[in-house]
Amino acid sequence: MNTLAHTSQSLRGRLLALLGSAFLLLALGLYFGTRTIAENAADLTQDHTLAASLNAVAEQLSVVNGEITVDLPYAALALLGASGDDRVFYRVSREPGGELTGYDDLPHGDTQAPNQPVFRTEQYRGDAVRISTTHRQVFGQVGVSRVTLSIAQSRDSRTDIINGVSRNAAALGLAFLLCAMALAWLASGNALSPLRKLSLALRERQPHDTSSLQLTVPNDIAPVVQALNGFLHRLRTNLTNTETLIADAAHRVRTPLTAVKAQAQLALQHSENNAQRERLRDLLRAVDQTARSTNQILDHAMVTFRADGFTLGERFERSDLCALVTKTLNELHYTADSRDIAFVTALPALPLWLHIDPILVTEAIRNVVDNAIKYSAPESTIDIELSATSTMASLLVADRGCGIALDEQERVQERFVRGSNAGEVVGSGLGLTIVQHVMTTHAGTVQFAPRSGGGTEVTLQFPIERQP
Amino acid sequence: MRFLLVEDSPDIGKAVSTRMTDQGHAVDWVTTLADADAVLASSAVDLIVLDIMLPDGDGRDFLARHRARADATPVLVITARSQVSDRVSVLDLGADDYLTKPFDLDELDARCRALIRRSSGAPQDDFTAKNLHYEPQSSRLQIAGETRALRNRENRLLEVFFRSKGRVLSKALLLDRLFSLDADVSENTIEVYVGRLRQHLDGSGVRIETVRGAGYRLSDH
């Protein structure tokens, strides 16, 4: 049975991925937004300064002796040059009349009206520069002249400012992202903690524990817990019903069988009629066969039920294998004695403690020894040896019976399969199946070997678990 | 010996009590725990044979009450052995022995005898003839003071002869008495065991005579 669940990405991972993507978008928005605002602000500042300088220069325009002159106010230009390494260019030209002063290759902007400076950005002498241009009408010797003034400033300091602001914005965005992710981590952990509590509670349960889950959970996952508890309740009821059924079946079947057997035995002993006794003897054997088969079937049901995963763990306890063997031999003593079969035992003097289900193991031992008795000749002996190494406890049961053919040693462990030489010995073919089942449940083995001189050696081996 | 049989199944009760009567015991057969209490209150018994599932309660409760009274009367419990769950073992509750259904009447006999032998310590049911002393319960055969060991089957066969002393017993009847369930036993087996008993009885003045065409007869003439 595959008990592994198919898993996909964890809930927390999903939440974090989703929130992380949203936070990253927000952080990027914050960065680019701040950068755009900084660019606009820097442009505005530069334009204001340029306009003020332009105005200051224009104020200095005068007409001397009919000639238009401009007296450059160096303070105004110094204001522009003061910010960092920025370079400043200017050009004053008139129309008509040509250049007045400055760099005559600095392009003028197209001005529409006096006192309304225009701005544009151009490449000039290898640098990006911001050029502001205005014009004035001046009355001179030749009438009205149009004087066009341009001042340009390189954009280095603006770029510096924008980069500085961008760096800060990036740092801020990153800090925001980290804080937000940390909060998301904490919040998702907190929100998912009831689920974790639930899975922990399930993981720590003993496999046989069918009691209801006692957990306070948020109402979102209450249906899950309710469904689980409902399932556990049904399982518990089923197990109890099965147990009651097996116990009831045992009682209801065994009691009438006992009655039939006892009555038949009694009738046989009280009958003086030979023909009648013959029939009674046949009847008694048939009853005995039925009784044994029924017994084995009920025992098999019991073993299967107990060895089932759901009920197994709770039945295991520290048990003395030596005492179990002794008890079982005592139980079978009369059966053996009625055929004058003697047990020759070699048991350790000290208890041999194993972590096992004592009832299942008793059942296995009983079946092995019972088989040995059934298939042994009268007045023979059965050797029973119990020994242990540090890792393995071995129970050897050796009889002088008819043996099991080599090629049948696997098959006789199957249900309802009996050795071909079983003859008229009554049996159900379930005994070794029970033994095999019990040994598998205990991670042990059952082995058959022919005994030298005739008979069978059955060895049950139990692993001894190291105590931590 | 006086036995108290507590068994509610009429067929089992009838068969067991008949068998016990055959063995020479007095049997009080009751079907409820209340009746069992009533018998014990009025008279002493030598052995109690107790079924576990009874109409008015659980035999284990009766057992616990019985032990609480510090009553030493041996108790043989009959169970339907269905230990699906861990129930308290009847031995832990103070039963002296137990028998699982369906059981052999012979095994019931054997276990009852063992319990009585253990509790009273004295031979209950012995035979003496000439210089022979025979205690079937302990398989002891003494001839002129010398003890001879008997195997189980030899003992059972000898006891059948002593209980029917002077009567002719056919091989078939002996076969049914001793080996009714053993498939591998034939009338030849009876001859083998009779032969062994004759050797054991040698020198005692008691002998097993062959009655031609009819069977065997124990005689001390």
Q: Which of A259, A281, A426 sits opposite B180 (nearest CB)?
A: A281
**Residue A276 pLDDT greater than 50, yes or no:** yes
Banded model confidence at residue A32, pLDDT cuts 50, 70, 90: very high
- Average pLDDT value for residue range A51-64: 86
| More confident: A264 or A251 | A264
B94 vs B71: CA distance, rounded Å: 11
A147 vs A140: CA distance, rounded Å: 11
The answer regarding whether domain B127-219 maps to CATH 1.10.10.10 reads yes
**Residue B200 pLDDT greater than 60, yes or no:** yes
Nearest in space to B156 (alpha carbons), one of B118, B202, B104: B104
Contact status of A156 with chain B (Cβ, < 8 Å): no
Percent of chain A at pLDDT > 90 equals: 27
Q: Which of B12, B53, B81 sits opposite A259 (nearest CB)?
A: B12
Contact status of A263 with chain B (Cβ, < 8 Å): yes
Residue A82 is predicted with a pLDDT of 64
CA separation (Å) from A4 to A165, A226, A329, A437?
A: 54, 22, 44, 25
B152 to A315: CB separation less than 8 angstroms, yes or no: no
Q: Which residues are CB-neighbours of A53 under 8 A, at least 6 positions away? A: A76, A77, A79, A80, A151
- Average pLDDT value for residue range A18-24: 93
CATH of the domain spanning A316-463, picked from 3.30.565.10, 3.30.460.10, 3.40.50.10800, 1.10.357.10: 3.30.565.10
A148 vs A138: CA distance, rounded Å: 10
Percent of chain A at pLDDT > 70 equals: 94
Nearest in space to B50 (alpha carbons), one of B113, B3, B14, B87: B3
pLDDT tens digits along A281-328? 888 888 888 888 888 888 888 888 888 766 656 678 889 999 999 989
Contact status of B22 with chain A (Cβ, < 8 Å): yes
pLDDT tens digits along A101-128? 888 888 888 888 877 889 998 888 888 8
Question: Do you know the residue count of chain B?
Answer: 221
A291 vs A427: CA distance, rounded Å: 10
Nearest in space to A219 (alpha carbons), one of A200, A194, A239: A194
Lowest-pLDDT choice from A257-271, B77-91, B113-127? B77-91
**Residue A1 pLDDT greater than 50, yes or no:** no
How many contacts (CB atoms, under 8 Å) link A and B? Answer: 121
Separation in Å, CA of B3 to nearest CA in chain A: 18
Q: How does DSSP assign A324-342, residue by residue?
A: HHHHHHHHHHHHHHTTT-E
Residue B124 is predicted with a pLDDT of 60
Residue B86 is predicted with a pLDDT of 43
CA separation (Å) from A18 to A2, A15, A179, A374, A435?
A: 33, 5, 16, 73, 58
Question: Do you know the residue count of chain A?
Answer: 468
- Is B29 strand, coil or helix? strand
Residue B75 is predicted with a pLDDT of 93
Among B14, B108, B180, B192, most A C-beta atoms within 10 A, so best to mutate, is B180
CB < 8 Å from A in window 97-126 of B: 100-107, 110-111
pLDDT tens digits along B162-183? 888 888 998 888 887 777 666 6
Which residue of chain A comes nearest to B156, CA vs CA? A338
A263 to B106: CB separation less than 8 angstroms, yes or no: no
Mean pLDDT across chain A:
86
- Average pLDDT value for residue range A250-255: 82
Residue A314 is predicted with a pLDDT of 67
B181 to A285: CB separation less than 8 angstroms, yes or no: yes
Lowest-pLDDT choice from A382-386, B26-30, B170-174? B170-174
CB < 8 Å from B in window 242-261 of A: 243, 246-247, 249-251, 254-261
- Average pLDDT value for residue range B95-112: 86
Strands A342-346 and B132-135: unpaired
H or E, element range at B78:
strand B75-79
Q: How many CB atoms lie within 10 A of CB A441?
A: 22
Domain boundaries, chain B: 2-120, 127-219
What top-level class would CATH report for the domain A26-163? alpha beta
What top-level class would CATH report for the domain B2-120? alpha beta
> DSSP H helical segments within chain B, as ranges?
10-22, 33-42, 59-68, 105-120, 152-163, 171-179, 187-201
